């Protein structure tokens, strides 16, 4: 996949984009500012956005002159239209594993990551996952104290050769009483 650095003014938002995404622009702009532009915008051969409207608006907000772009010359107009919808819809099928998310956020918190809201979660959500007392509650002392029911968890990832081996190991471990989760990467 070829990625080019193109001027923002060359890119054209799709006029009939059915996704209402301008409300997410602030969070995406903060993410780009902190982590850099990590996903290119996908455009068709006429420079109309196929995927990446929120990144486009975030780049405008940040007053970026150039952005990484993939020109999908191999997509027919009908496939570009279908991909535009699929790109926005498919991610909605994914769900969060609350225990693993809490573990990841907890580690970032312990490592003193500068701003956990850069993960895209707001402060109230982060406090819920970290089992922190919400701001303004309690005696005012130690708003960042961990509630006593917090239980640290440990995990092991086993890399399998194939799906059959994964099923076999999963079955053995669950028989032994381990709480297992299947992951495909």
Phi and psi at residue 5, to the nearest 5°: -90, 110
Structural domain boundaries enclosing 116: 98-154
Does residue 73 sit in the same domain as residue 110?
Answer: no
pTM of the entire structure? 0.65
pLDDT of residue 172: 87
Q: How many domains does the chain have?
A: 3
Q: Same structural domain for residues 179 and 111?
A: no
Residues 126 and 182 in one domain: no
Residue 19 shares a structural domain with residue 36? yes
Residues 145 and 178 in one domain: no
Are residues 80 and 138 both part of a single domain? no
pLDDT tens digits, one per residue of 111-143: 998 889 989 888 888 888 888 544 454 444 444
Alpha-carbon distance of 21 to 103, in angstroms, equals: 29
Same domain, 171 and 140: no
DSSP letter at 145 equals: P
Does residue 109 contact residue 125 with C-beta atoms inside 8 Å? no
CB neighbour class for 28 (10 Å; exposed up to 12, middle 13-18, buried from 19):
buried
Structure tokens at 162: 């194939």
């Amino acid at each position: 996949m070829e990625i080019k650095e193109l001027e923002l003014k060359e890119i054209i938002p799709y006029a009939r984009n059915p996704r209402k995404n301008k409300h997410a622009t602030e969070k995406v702009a903060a993410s780009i500012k902190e982590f850099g532009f990590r996903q290119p915008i996908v455009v068709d051969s006429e420079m109309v956005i196929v995927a990446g409207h929120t990144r486009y608006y975030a780049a405008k907000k940040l007053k970026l002159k150039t952005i990484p772009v993939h020109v999908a010359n191999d997509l027919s107009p009908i496939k570009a239209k279908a991909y535009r919808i699929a790109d926005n819809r498919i991610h909605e099928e994914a769900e969060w594993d609350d225990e693993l998310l809490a573990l990841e956020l907890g580690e970032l918190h312990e490592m003193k990551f500068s701003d956990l809201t850069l993960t895209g979660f707001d402060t109230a959500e982060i406090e819920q996952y970290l089992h922190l007392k919400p701001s303004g509650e309690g005696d005012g002392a130690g708003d960042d104290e961990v509630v006593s029911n917090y239980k640290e968890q440990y995990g092991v990832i086993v890399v399998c050769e194939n799906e059959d081996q994964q099923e076999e190991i999963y079955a053995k471990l669950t028989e032994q009483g381990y709480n297992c989760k299947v992951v495909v990467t």
